[in-house]
Amino acid sequence: MGNLIAKEYKSFEDIKRRDENGEEYWLARELAPVLQYTKWENFHNVVGKAMLACKNSGFDVLDHFPAVRKTVAMPSKAKPKTIQDYKLSRYACYLIVQNGNPRKEIIALGQTYFAIQTRRQEVQDYFNQLDEDSQRLVIRGNIKQWNQMLAETAHAAGVITDEQFAQFQNAGYKGLYGGETVEDIHRRKKLKPTERILDFMMSSELVANLFRITLANDKIKKEGIDTPDDAEMAHNIAGQEARSAIIRAGGILPEDHPTPTKSVEQIAREQIAELKALARKKPLMLDEDYDDND
C-alpha cells in the first residue's frame, strides 16, 4: 500500500520546483494536468476558490499565489504568446486540492500528499518543541529528499544498474553500522519484508543516517567521482566518518537505538487523520458550487 501511494505521489514530486532561496513551489499550469484538469478555465476557477479560502484563513494571498507570466511558443510562425500562471506554495496547493473535484481519485491523493507536506513544514518550524514521533516524521521527510539527491549524484558517477545501486547503498550502511548491511539491519529490527528500515528508526538514528547521506553526496560531488567503485567507497567512508563523529561525541551508535513500534508511515496517517478531523470542524471548502468537470 505504501509503495503504491508513493508511486502515485511521484507525479506531484516530479513537477515540484525550488526558487533561488531553496523554497519549494509548484506552477499552476503544471499542476492542472496532474490533477486531470484539461481546461485551464475550469482549473482557474478552483484556484480562485483556493485564493478566497486562503484569504478567509487570514493569510496573505500574494504570499501563496503570486501571479507570474510566461511566454509559450505557438504553432508555425505565429508570435509567441504570453500567458498567466501562478507560483503556488505548498499551502496554496493544499487549498487547491481541498477545493477540487472530489470525484477525481487524483484529487484525493493530492489532498493527502499536500496535507503531509504542509504538516511536515508546520512541525519543522518548531522542531525542538516536537515529541519523538513528530521529530521522526520531519527527519524522515528530509531523508527522502536527500536520498533522492544522493541517488542522482550516484547515477551521475556511474551507479546505473539496480545491482550497483544496492551495493552503493549497502556500502554506506556498512560504514555507519559497523559492517551491517541493509539486510542485516532489517533482520535485527525484526521487520516484515515490506517494511523499510528508515521507517523504523528513532529520531537520533535517523539524524545519523541523514548525516551519512549528506556527507556522501558532498564527497562524491566535491571529488568529481565518476566510477561506481569509487562512489561505493566514498559512501562507505562517509558512513565511517558519521560513525566516528558519534563515537567522538559520546553518542549512541545507530545499531544500539531501540526499534520503535510505529512506522513513520503510520505516524503520518495518524496525523493526517487529525488534520482531517480539524478540517471537518473548520472546513476549508467554500459554500459556493460550480461545475469544474472536464
pLDDT tens column, 179-194: 999 999 999 999 999 9
Residue where a domain terminates, one of 53, 83, 109? 109
Q: Is 225's pLDDT higher than 80?
A: yes
Distances (CA, A) of 288 to 15, 80, 110: 30, 36, 21
The residues, any chain, with a CB within 8 Å of residue 230's CB and separated by 6 or more, are: 157
Inside any domain, residue 201: yes
Averaged pLDDT, 14-18: 90
CA distance 55 to 50: 9
CA distance 183 to 19: 38
Residue where a domain terminates, one of 56, 75, 109? 109
Inside any domain, residue 147: yes
Inside any domain, residue 2: no
| Segment 251-267, tens digit of pLDDT | 999 999 999 999 998 98
Q: Which domain holds residue 239?
A: 127-262
Q: Flag the least confident range among 64-68, 109-113, 168-172, 284-288.
A: 284-288
Cβ–Cβ < 8 Å for 146, 208: no
How many domains does the chain fold into? Answer: 2
Is 62 found in the same domain as 180?
no
CA distance 124 to 234: 30
pTM comes to 0.57
CA distance 258 to 267: 17
Grade residue 276 by pLDDT with cuts at 50, 70 and 90: low
Q: What per-residue confidence (pLDDT) applies to 81?
A: 78
Is 252 found in the same domain as 175?
yes
Inside any domain, residue 35: yes
Is 153 found in the same domain as 50?
no
Long-range residue pairs from 142-145, CB within 8 A, at least 24 positions apart, any chain = 142/210, 143/198, 143/206, 143/209, 143/210, 143/213
Is 187 found in the same domain as 79?
no
Edge-first strand order for the sheet with 81-88 is 17-18, 24-27, 81-88, 67-72
Q: Flag the least confident range among 76-90, 104-118, 153-167, 199-213.
A: 104-118
